[in-house]
Amino acid sequence: MNWRAVQAIYAFEMARTGRTLLQSIISPVISTSLYFVVFGAAIGARITEIDGVSYGAFIVPGLIMMMLLTQSTANASFGIYFPKFVGTIYEILSAPISYIEIVLGYVGAAATKSIILGLIILATAGFFVPLHVEHPVWMLAFLVLTAVTFSLFGFIIGIWADGFEKLQVIPLLVITPLTFLGGSFYSISVLPPVWQTVSLFNPLVYLISGFRWSFYGISDVGVGISLGATLLFLALCLAIVWWIFRTGYRLKA
Amino acid sequence: MPSIISVSNLSKTYASGFQALKPINLEIRQGEIFALLGPNGAGKTTLISIICGIVSPSTGAVTVDGRDIVRDYRAARSMIGLVPQELHTDSFESVWATVSFSRGLWGRPASPGHIGKVLKALSLWDKKDNKIMTLSGGMKRRVMIAKALAHEPQILFLDEPTAGVDVELRKDMWGVVRSLRKSGVTIILTTHYIEEAEEMADRIGIINKGELILVEDKAELMRKLGKKQLTLHLAAKLETVPPNLAAHRLTLAGGGSELIYTYDTRGERTGITALLSDLNKAGVRFRDLHTTQSSLEDIFVDLVRRGP
């Protein structure tokens, strides 16, 4: 393994976060705080509790998960797309590094940023609602697994995209709507039966449900199924990344 | 000199069906400066990109110091530094950071001493903390070279290294290339500036339409293909070449005031003595004479026009 190369890519990507602190960290924190004000205070005044948890506290895992999904995808997709866009990818492709090392560097940095962001949002939430984490180890496990999985997903988007529009289209038109419809702000048990069934086709329901279980011990679907769905998506992303590098798709002529 | 890069039957056909390289065989000798000349779209960059791992070959194989570039890519690539044709830079990074990044990417331990030495050699030392976006085009070109040298490569590919660079900077770069060669680095350069190849290369390869037309020692190439011309400045103008001089295939130029005789330097006899004797017999007097030799540019243009 060329660990120095992994470290170089990782440090380079983390340094980019440092340069864009406002965009990378502060902006999501402000957005989350606004969600707390709008959903927690305004709607929370009408919906007092869900499954015995105050509404403000109930939405915390959903909010963290929403930021985790969008930021992991955005960070990783931009991380690999930008060298393609400016042409510096030539250096990555001509360096004595394996595809695994490239992925470790880019995806590792994107996932790290998302995890840090998730923890910052968790701390921010503590200012608005009393926090309680019933299964902290599982909470961290879901946090890390989701960050890695969606960083891989973002990496795939970054390779696939051949323009800034494509870079934005999946996060904006797929991930964000699915997160909103995946039970970030409600329990799917409050939906009519038909919509409950429809919701089960939304893969993000399983991620949000599992993450919420780690906080309060309540979930829309079994935690084992949530974990299985997360691992399945991780495996799918790994398979696609493996195929990309095997074929050189959108990387090599 | 032993060969350090060996290219065997290498070809590249893109998905569009365009054949960028027809099967090519080439040996690059250790420690030489090899100049690859060819018009735009000839396949120079494709060939370099395949050797460096950026483009996958369709057929054939390349070894770098005996290591296959596909099977043993780590060992092969670790020896190579590449300066691409385009100015691909991380605009928001500092010079120092981007050059250090390149060293790390090649798996080399941090070496501020070496990075400093490279930056000084390329007159970038006082710009080391500047963001690349603030540098001029010429400076960015130097940064690209510094990045390629960051990991102390044994082979350096320079794809149009002096394109868009002013004369002074170009000569500076020639100095850098020469000192690299002196330190044992093998250099392969593509260029549009024939004088660059003429000035620096040990051997020349000419590529056209994806085909390697010729590979030759530069001095030998110029000797083999170089035509010499003898120009006679006549004392009195002529309207036509006198019939008894027809065997010498003379050309009348300068409105009848010059006679040009073209001869081959490879020939055992140049025919100059016979020509001068015949001129005397024909009563053609001349005031002055001079000789010129084909430049590499003339040879290049001639070969490319003739085609593969």
State ipTM.
0.83
Instruction: Lowest mean pLDDT of A34-48, B145-159, B276-290, name the range.
Output: A34-48
- To the nearest whole angstrom, how far is the Cα of A149 from the nearest Cα of chain B? 25
Residues B42, B138, single domain; the answer is yes
pLDDT value of position A190: 80
Q: What percent of chain B has pLDDT over 90?
A: 40
Residue A132 lies in a domain: yes
Neighbours of B111 (CB within 10 A): 15
* Same domain assignment for residues B184 and B257: no
pLDDT tens per residue across span B80-130: 999 998 888 888 889 999 999 999 999 999 899 999 999 998 888 999 999
The CATH number assigned to the domain holding B219 equals 3.40.50.300
Q: Are residues B212 and B236 in the same domain?
A: no
**Do the domain assignments include residue A37?**
yes
Q: Is the pLDDT of residue B268 over 80?
A: no
B189/B289 same-domain check: no
Q: Which domain holds residue A149?
A: 3-247
Inform me whether the C-beta atom of residue B70 falls under 8 Å from chain A C-beta atoms: no
Same domain? B266 vs B136? no
Looking at the structure, tell me whether residues B269 and B208 fall in a common domain: no
- List C-alpha distances in Å: B165 to A251, B90, B136, B200: 29, 20, 10, 17
Domain boundary among B172, B206, B223: B223
How many domains does chain B contain in total? 2
Residues B218 and B237 in one domain: no
Amino acid at B49: S
Domain end position, chosen among B223, B258, B280: B223
Domain residues for the domain of B40 are 3-223
Instruction: Please give the pLDDT value at position B265.
Output: 67
**Chain pair A-B, CB pairs under 8 angstroms:** 77
Give me the pLDDT at residue B119, please. 92
Query: How many domains does chain A divide into?
Result: 1
Q: Does residue B58 sit in the same domain as residue B131? A: yes
* Among B207, B223, B239, residue at a domain's last position: B223
The reply to whether A252 falls in a domain is no
Task: Tell me what the mean pLDDT of segment B135-152 comes to.
Answer: 90
Tell me: do B35 and B160 sit in the same domain: yes
Segment B272-299, tens digit of pLDDT: 888 888 888 888 889 999 888 766 667 7
Phi/psi class of residue B55: alpha, beta or left (left: φ > 0; alpha: ψ in -120 to 50)? Answer: beta
Contact residues on chain A for B82, CB-CB shorter than 8 A? 90-91, 94
Is A183 part of a structural domain of the chain?
yes
Q: Residue B31 — pLDDT band, cuts 50, 70, 90?
A: very high
Question: Which residue of A7, A90, A248 is in closest CB contact with B56?
Answer: A248
